[in-house]
Amino acid sequence: MNSYAIRPAALAVAAALSSFYSFSSTAQTAANADSETTLEEVFVLGDRRAYQGNFDTLENPSSVQVMGEDLLRAAGVLNLNQALDLSASVARQNNFGGLWNSFSIRGFSGDINLPSGFLVNGFNAGRGFAGPRDMSGIESVEVLKGPRAALFGRGEPGGTVNLVTKRPEFETQGELRATVGRWDQLRLEADVQTTLGANDQIGIRLVGFTEDAESFRETVETERVGLYPSVTWRVSDATTVTYELEYTEQEVPFDRGVLYSEDFGFSPRSTFTGEPGDGPIETRVLGHQLELQHNFSSNWSLLAGLGYRDTTFEGNASENNFGGRQTYFRDGRTISRFFRYRDFDSEYLVARAELAGQFNTGGLRHRLIVGADMDQFENSLFILRYRPPFPGPDFEVSDFDPETYLLLDAFDPIYGQYPIPTPGPNTDRVEELDGFGVYIQDQIDLTDRLQVRLGLRWDDFEQSLTNQRAVPATTTDTSDTRVSPQLGAVYMINDGLSLYASYGEGFRQQTGSDFQGNQFDPNITESAELGLKMDMQHFFDGVAGSLTLAAFQVDQSNILVNDDRPAAVAAGFFSRSAGEAQSRGIELDASVDFEGGLSLWFSYAYTDAEFTTTAPDPDFGAVIEKGDPLINSPENQLNVQLTQSFSLAGMPAQLGAGVLYTDERLGWTGFDFTLPSYTTARFFGQIEPMQGIAVRFDIDNAFDETFYTNSFADVWVEPGMPRRYRISASYAF
């Protein structure tokens, strides 16, 4: 790990954290994983999670979706993108050629050129270049929507995604699973746990997977392996310590997808437009989490933790050229490309401590959370690039030197025709982001029915950006402080119905610098939400579950745009923080279990997300008009899944179906390029012919819809997968 200059205050926090923190075990979570109640646990009686207090679902003044293990398995989820498809509030964004997770919540994403930020057990894990997240070892996925910055601090503007991992349950049991599927998919998974010690005070859990699969994209093959062991030590009745390791290696070809032309349409979805001879991109992550929980009494609990994560990303890629160099726009057949070599790595260190509990003053109950956290993130980017010369506006494809432009026939690709070009310097920079924050939240019972929530967070952060291409290398240091408030109210109409409202402000640090070398101002977000929550069991016999109806508005400022001021233009192509946008919408989410074994998951979102200023785009300089929609943000999105459990000849069985609808959406910021809407359906069935043995069949995109999930521009469009089938067999013991 590289050395860092850590402030004395941060060192004090880190020392405290090494002794006082824990993350919740998954025992209670597993019992309630498919409803929002998994977030609301009682102090001391059960282990709990950071940044979340002692609140019933109806008392929480924000919208939350929890996808538990049963739902994720029924939906056939294998990776984070598929899990987030279950939430209509989440939309896929440019995923960097399939090499990371990128998504928006309520229309807003972070930096489109970096992975989206998400949490694992409350620790920031979206930072870095570890490749797309596999769902092996994940117990549940939480989509925490709306204003969260008063506790979570730095994060994505539309909400927060938190992954809860599988941890020891102090039982001796396990499951082995094998999956085979179309395109020679072979996947093996294991989840085994046991206990040690005279009184079984040590729980051990080992989760891992390996997968090798080809693709509907010609020549594309991926290899992945992951190992996620964890150990929990029950030091005493009041204290537990948990350690977890994350290790994943992936080899994934860099795939920019298909191209689109108004004259010729999309290029074939089966044609890989890169070069197999470039080899795959190799990614690796090694992460550690150490957590401890200590319960002082029946009302007060202290959590503390340390996390460290190292990621690497290295390899070659041939990528589709943009308009002026793209031959596909002339003949609808020939694709021209350029070449890049990338070597990225990142290191992330976080420490935190949090005290939570309750007390009374003058007949008012207070539920308090007070905490502090610090993090240090170092991001190193090294890029070499070969790009063919600009041919002028009147070029003919026949005039091109095929080797210079790395030409490829979209309908009859012949790979390996040209040697790998020699790239030249492009990017060589190291960026360090250090942050320290303290936060407080108090939820006060004013009456038996009315509660208010007050929250405040103070952050201090520093940035150091070193340009190693400059001779000599130049370093720019900047710093800033931010305050993020939150206000919420909940009115309990009765024991099964509540109204809530909340308002919050937040920010997100932005990487890079302006033409003067100064750090960009952070994205600033203001978010308001009004909603209704219902406990279904209170109103309907034989029905369990929850329903949330929410209306929201999110305003964002300091969005990066092209700096067209004369001094900046004279210096080159730079950005500045000047854009603004707004998102408004309505969401309806329900998770319901009926008598007779029928379960329903329903998620619908209407999102109107648009720019509220006119400014040039930061990547291409095209004009973004006021009222233009945000990229990859559908107005309407819907996900519905039904699962029926029953007995067949005395054997437990399940049948299920799901539908995903995604509206049309803008595919290139500042340009008139729209991705078409699509609807996909999936079906599954499972049967347990004997105790502990289960056989399952999944068919995805059952009607073989041709669709496109996201794009960065008209030459970088990700095609959806054709009809796919999978057969799995598992053995539980």
Tell me the CATH number at 415.
Answer: 2.40.170.20
pLDDT, position 149: 62
pLDDT, position 667: 97
What does the mean pLDDT of the chain come to?
90
Contact assessment for residue 103 and residue 157, using Cβ atoms and an 8 Å cutoff: no
Residue 276 lies in a domain: yes
| Average pLDDT score over residue span 268-297 | 96
Residue 370: burial class (beta carbons within 10 Å; 0-12, 13-18, 19+): middle
Provide the β-strand partners of residue 693.
Answer: 690, 731
pLDDT classification of 518: cutoffs 50, 70, 90: confident
Of 264, 256, 245, 309, which Cα lies nearest the Cα of 283? 309
pLDDT, position 150: 62
The amino acid sitting at 656 is G
Of 646, 655, 652, 659, which Cα lies nearest the Cα of 698? 655
pTM of the predicted protein model: 0.90
Element (H, E) at 220: none
Residue 421 lies in a domain: yes
pLDDT, position 712: 95
Spatial distance between the Cα atoms of 556 and 562, rounded to a whole number of angstroms: 17
pLDDT, position 126: 79
Element (H, E) at 681: strand 678-690
Domain span at 157: 8-732
Residue 142: burial class (beta carbons within 10 Å; 0-12, 13-18, 19+): buried
Residue 343 lies in a domain: yes
| Average pLDDT score over residue span 635-653 | 97
Residue 180: CB atoms within 10 A of its CB come to 14
**Structural domain count, the chain:** 1
| Average pLDDT score over residue span 226-252 | 97
pLDDT, position 517: 76
Contact assessment for residue 586 and residue 532, using Cβ atoms and an 8 Å cutoff: no
| Average pLDDT score over residue span 468-480 | 90
Contact assessment for residue 642 and residue 657, using Cβ atoms and an 8 Å cutoff: yes
| Average pLDDT score over residue span 77-82 | 96
Contact assessment for residue 469 and residue 428, using Cβ atoms and an 8 Å cutoff: yes
Higher pLDDT pick, 698 / 123: 698
% of the chain with per-residue pLDDT over 90: 78
pLDDT, position 420: 94
pLDDT, position 53: 66
Residue 2 lies in a domain: no
| Average pLDDT score over residue span 273-301 | 96
| pLDDT of 22 over the 70 cut | no
| pLDDT of 117 over the 90 cut | no
| pLDDT of 299 over the 70 cut | yes
Residue 3 lies in a domain: no
pLDDT, position 200: 93
| Average pLDDT score over residue span 311-318 | 97
| pLDDT of 47 over the 70 cut | no
| pLDDT of 44 over the 60 cut | no
Spatial distance between the Cα atoms of 112 and 159, rounded to a whole number of angstroms: 16
Spatial distance between the Cα atoms of 731 and 58, rounded to a whole number of angstroms: 38
Concatenated DSSP letters of 471-502: SS-EEEEEEEEEEEEEEEEEEEEETTEEEEEE
pLDDT, position 27: 34
| pLDDT of 28 over the 60 cut | no
| pLDDT of 528 over the 50 cut | yes
Chain segment 189-235, per-residue pLDDT in tens: 999 999 998 889 999 999 999 999 999 999 999 999 999 999 999 99
pLDDT, position 454: 96
Distances, alpha carbon 617 to alpha carbons 27, 621, 668, in Å? 48, 5, 10
Residue 163: burial class (beta carbons within 10 Å; 0-12, 13-18, 19+): buried
Residue 1 lies in a domain: no
| pLDDT of 15 over the 50 cut | no
% of the chain with per-residue pLDDT over 70: 92
pLDDT, position 49: 63
Question: What DSSP character marks residue 79?
Answer: B
Spatial distance between the Cα atoms of 694 and 687, rounded to a whole number of angstroms: 6
| pLDDT of 425 over the 50 cut | yes
pLDDT, position 555: 95
The amino acid sitting at 456 is L
| Average pLDDT score over residue span 398-421 | 95
pLDDT classification of 50: cutoffs 50, 70, 90: low
516's CB contacts (< 8 A; 6+ apart) are none
| pLDDT of 388 over the 50 cut | yes
pLDDT, position 81: 95
Higher pLDDT pick, 632 / 31: 632
Residue 114: CB atoms within 10 A of its CB come to 18
Q: Radius of gyration (Cα) for the chain, nearest Å? A: 26
